[in-house]
Amino acid sequence: MDVAALRTHYPELAGERLVEVSVIDNGETLASQPDASADFIIANHFIEHTEDPLGTLANHLRVLRPGAILYLAVPDRRRTFDADREPTGLEHVVRDHRDGPSASRARHQEEWARLVEKVPPDEVAERVRWLAEHDYSIHFHVWTPAEFRALLEFARDEEGLPFTIAELVENGHEFIAILRRS
């Protein structure tokens, strides 16, 4: 989204200083970006918003040249508003990747409404409907550094994604993963 669309879609950004964007694309697919065309990708607090983290990693790596860097800053679920949520299990992420995320979307939205927004039980269904209708971006998946490392190792070792983990370090309420395209 451009800045105007972001402010319309997310009214809570009204007073925030936002940088104009030069490329607008689906961050999960990067369909407009050619293969091996980038030296780095920075995805700050993004992967948790994706419905298919494995597919997103594959697409980000597709766009990177060999030796290039994928920088991911990911909220640590224990230190954010996601603290009451269970971690997203590897089996769940694999299922979303292989079968498509639509089967689990409503469950994620329901969990978000109950555990993050603390919506009263009798209003959860209406809130889920609103989230779906507005395609509102939530944290679909949540991890600790160790849980995310397990996802990365699966992506590399089982899915065959071409990267090494250069760093995975905690940083306050988040952790930083730096992947190098191999």
* Residue 119 domain flag: no
Answer yes or no: is pLDDT of 21 > 90. Answer: no
Name the pTM for this structure: 0.93
Q: What is the pLDDT of residues 121-131, one digit of tens each?
A: 999 999 999 99
Find the CATH number of the domain harbouring 66.
3.40.50.150
Cβ(151)–Cβ(90) below 8 Å: yes
Give the CA distances from residue 78 to residues 44, 60, 74, 82, 93, in Å, rounded to whole numbers and listed in that order: 18, 26, 12, 7, 19
* Domain assignment of residue 64, given as a range: 3-97+137-181
Residue 9 has what pLDDT?
87
* Residue 117 domain flag: no
Residue 23 has what pLDDT?
87
Answer yes or no: is pLDDT of 22 > 90. Answer: no
Q: How many domains does the chain contain in total?
A: 1
Q: Average pLDDT of 141-167?
A: 98
* Residue 52 domain flag: yes
Mean per-residue pLDDT of the chain = 96
